[in-house]
Amino acid sequence: AVSRDGILKWTMPLATSVDLIEMTHAEETADGPKNLLQQNVLTYEPNLTVRPMVIYGSTLYGRSTMSKIAAYLEDENLSLVAGVNGSFFDMSTGIPYGFVVTDGVLRTSGNVNSVGFSRNGGVIIGNPDVHIFVSGGPLNNAEVFYNKVLTTGNGIGLYSRDYDTATKNPISAYNVVLTPDSKSELTLPGEMTLKVTKIVENTASCPIPANGFVLSIAEKSTYSSALSSLKAVQVGDTLTFSALCDDMWKGIAYACGGGDLLVEDGEALTSFTLDTKDEQRARTAIGRKSDGTLVIYTADESSNSAGIDLYDLADKMAELGCDTALNLDGGGSTNLAVTTPDSTTATIINRPSETGRKVTNQVFLVASDRSSGRLDHFYVNAAGDYVLAGSAVSVTASGVDSNYIPMDASYTLSASAGSIAEQEDGRYLLTTPASGGDITVTASGR
């Protein structure tokens, strides 16, 4: 469909209540590719068949490609319906800014504007207000950070094997090694008790025991009282860690941090902190409509797409009906992966400025990879194509079961205009009318 504001748009159903919308915006005075904007929109209505997840690699330290995460999903008998990059992160370490929750477990702390998902697919956007406190021995309700790189100015940090096999800190640290009495995971809210088993002084990268933790502070920390308190901890002491958060975020299943809020109470915002807010860049954004629908948006910056600044991005998310929206990492990180209904493998469908960049985490829509074996519909593979009037184009179709997994099924094709004929190799050739116009191709079978 071509709208009055110069947007060419088509929609493809990807899974139950999941649609992909591809849009190309052309300015009325278009005189070159930089006046075009290539955009993709994913919409998801919460349901029990498809669910949103936040996924990272085997550890927080380091980065992963979407293909690596897709392989992980296969091992979990899940298929990637669609997904985009998530948090902003430190390029040298891969550690995300803000907090991360997966499978209901807090993996790293940090308070920035974030997106979270409940187990039934519900969406929340805002600041989670996460705090972790430790008490026991000489420590009295001291606040600590969780699974971030240690500096001389960020106090005491707690590390788990979610971070890596060692703390990998760049500066010398005083380390207290801990093992759990029972529960060894932090939930929001949640509490765990750990016992001090070892002290490791003047060590930058302290090994983290399997199922254990390390409590660290820089040997030259600016927080001298915190350093003294941690050095007073002794082997055998029992420490209790408590994680708290805003009431809205209690029991969240998956979450990751983002950047500036783009939309609030249905209104596009105009005040941003990102240093590239005025620049036309590739962007990734995520939002929620008032009815609970999730909206994921990407805009490309490439040879045939101009990119978009944060002000226009906020307007776009408001136009898409979001009552709240959040900017995610963009630029070379903006990658959108989709599994089309005629395939079982996800591919990058946007045109990013850096294809396949390794990132810290991804926001995925996933479903079971098990076929139902029940034919549900056909996927016609030419949707959204543009061809010259009077020319010919090959058209195929694939059977799709009720779980949106391809299956063998015979079919015939018919066209609303022009002529369509089956070839010797089984494919169909559509000859378009010289008068042009829109053509609907329909696959039928069983």
Query: pLDDT tens for residues 321-344?
Result: 999 999 999 999 999 999 998 898
Strands 139-146 and 157-160, bridge-based pairing: parallel
- The DSSP letter of residue 95 is P
Q: How far apart are CA 414 and CA 138, in angstroms?
A: 78
Q: Burial level of 204, CB count in 10 A (0-12/13-18/19+)?
A: middle
Q: In the predicted model, is pLDDT for residue 5 greater than 70?
A: no
**Per-residue model confidence (pLDDT) at position 10:** 86
Distances (CA, A) of 61 to 86, 160, 166, 168, 380: 15, 11, 10, 9, 42
Q: Burial level of 424, CB count in 10 A (0-12/13-18/19+)?
A: exposed
Asked if 121 and 365 touch (Cβ cutoff 8 Å), the reply is no
Asked if 230 and 156 touch (Cβ cutoff 8 Å), the reply is yes
Q: In the predicted model, is pLDDT for residue 385 greater than 50?
A: yes
Tokens standing for residue 434: 């010289």
**Per-residue model confidence (pLDDT) at position 183:** 75
For 14-65, write each residue's pLDDT tens digit: 999 999 999 988 765 445 445 789 999 999 999 999 999 999 999 999 999 8
Omega of the bond leading into 189 within 30 degrees of 0 (cis):
yes
Mean pLDDT calculated for residue range 334-359:
89
Q: How far apart are CA 120 and CA 77, in angstroms?
A: 19
**Per-residue model confidence (pLDDT) at position 25:** 84
- For residue 111, list its beta bridge partners: none
Nearest to 264 by CA among 280, 248, 288, 284: 288
Mean pLDDT calculated for residue range 136-159:
97
Q: How far apart are CA 200 and CA 207, in angstroms?
A: 10
Side chain identity at residue 136, one-letter code? G
Specify the DSSP element, H or E, that contains 192: strand 190-203
